[in-house]
Amino acid sequence: MNHKMEVDARGLLCPKPVIQTKKAVDQLESGVVTTIVDNDTARENVIKYAKSQNYRYEVKQADGFYYIDIYKTEVMFDSEILPQTKPKLSEIVILVGKNTFGEGDETLGEVLIKGYFYTLTEMEPYPKSIMFVNSGVHLTIEGSPVLEYLRALESNGVEILSCGTCLDYYQVKEKLAAGGIGNMYAIVETMHKAKNTIRI
């Protein structure tokens, strides 16, 4: 059995680096998978994958490329490292598919979405994750009317994920101001693991 594998994901677009990394890790019983990527988004996504699986990882940078070593046997227990002061999160995942709330008048929809996120900050337990897709990503970027609420939720351990494809499509990736970037794999996986997904 091979204990070392290398995935050269340079030049590959999201979500291919993660798919190939996952394939390599799955093939390996134990050992190290080194994924080489050439951009920040791919690096973040591979790291996110490693974290989601509780694998220890190391990132090195050389010649303008990122080398991410993922260690399969060594499990990283977040709960042992972090103090247990965070409020309890519910098993609920929220999928936000647009930047207004409900169908109908836009102005009212904007008022309601602000109210929705404000109220989320007041209701514990907080959801486990909030994921933003399509025009929903306008809520996680600079100038968003709900930014302070998202940051408050994030600081309480709620995962905030924006769809990378969507940020790209609306050309607002540089303006991301809360949470991280995820791909469809992260979104689908989060929904499948959730006890309950609420679609906004």
Partner 1 sequence: MLEKKFYVIAFDSTHYAISTEKKLAAVGAPITMVPTPREISTSCGLSIRILDENLERVLEALNGVSKEGMNLFRIDRTSTENKSVKLEWRD
52: contact with partner 1 by CB under 8 A = no
Minimal distance in Å, beta carbon 134 to partner 1? 24
Residue 64 CA to residue 141 CA, distance in Å, equals 27
Helices (H), 96-196: 106-122, 147-155, 164-169, 184-193
Residue showing tokens 């991410």: 68
Question: Which residue of 10, 16, 56, 114 would you call a contact of partner 1, by CB under 8 A?
Answer: 114
Q: Which stretch binds partner 1 (CB under 8 A): 32-40, 88-96, 107-115, 163-171?
A: 107-115
Smallest distance, partner 1 to C-beta of residue 121, A: 5
Asked whether position 149 contacts partner 1 by CB under 8 A, the answer is yes
The CA-to-CA distance between both ends of the chain, in Å, stands at: 47
Q: Is 121 in the site for partner 1 (CB under 8 A)?
A: yes
177 binds partner 1 (CB under 8 A): no
Contact 8, 131 (CB under 8 A): no
How large is the C-alpha radius of gyration of the chain?
18
Residues in contact with partner 1 by CB under 8 A are 107-108, 111, 114-115, 118-119, 121-122, 148-149, 152
